[in-house]
Amino acid sequence: MRRIALVICEGETEENYINLLKKWYKSPIRIISHIEGTKITSSLVDNRMREIKISRWDKIDTFLMYDMDVPTVNEKLQACKANLLLSNPCFEIWLLLHSKDQKANISTDLVIKELKKSASVWRNYTKSIFTNTQQAFLRENVDVAVARAKGLKEFQNPSTNVYKLIEILKMA
């Protein structure tokens, strides 16, 4: 049996992070990512699952990696049958947790400002691009980020459960 992780995400930053995970975790899990933005629906998720060429022995786990800063998208996500990898307010909270324990409520703009101040590797952070130094920093500090994310209240601001995919990849 082959295990496939279909990760449907909001944008390029998330997809590029998924590509890093593929590179880092030489797991038997095949990861497929699709950028769908805000047009996410249950039928779109079903269509993406059907597009994957699988045998009857394959198992597909579907994940939705989205920011929680758009209320209308949150409602759409709840209607989909998938594992939710949500970050509140945005994906960058997951990046920030690699260098700083963020427990206070924070806006999307402030997350990015805090990320840039949190460690020298993030000073010139640009969405959707991870420099080699940033990639190395993320890899070295992933366990710290997982522990910090677990200490946050799911779906509250701030929070992220991106760590759930990391844990699955580490167990495989």
Please report, for the chain, the start and end positions of each structural domain, with discontinuous segments joined by +.
3-171
> Which pLDDT band, with edges at 50, 70 and 90, does 150 fall under?
very high
pLDDT of residue 141: 98
Mean pLDDT of 103-112: 97
pLDDT of residue 91: 97
pLDDT of residue 133: 98
Mean pLDDT of 97-118: 98
35 has a pLDDT exceeding 90: yes
Question: Which parts of 112-166 are beta strand (E)?
Answer: 159-160
Rg of the chain taking only CA atoms, in angstroms: 16
3-state helix, strand, coil in the chain (%, to 5): 45, 20, 35
Token digits of residue 166: 């990391």
How many CB atoms sit inside 10 A of residue 92's CB? Answer: 24
pLDDT of residue 5: 92
* Listed residue (54, 56, 63, 77) closest to 33, CA to CA: 63
How many CB atoms sit inside 10 A of residue 85's CB? Answer: 23
pLDDT per position as a tens digit, 63-83: 999 999 988 899 999 999 899
If one compares 134 and 53, the residue with the highest pLDDT of the two is: 134
Angle at 52 between CA 169 and CA 74, to 5 degrees: 70
52 has a pLDDT exceeding 90: no
Kindly state the percentage of the chain with pLDDT values over 70: 100
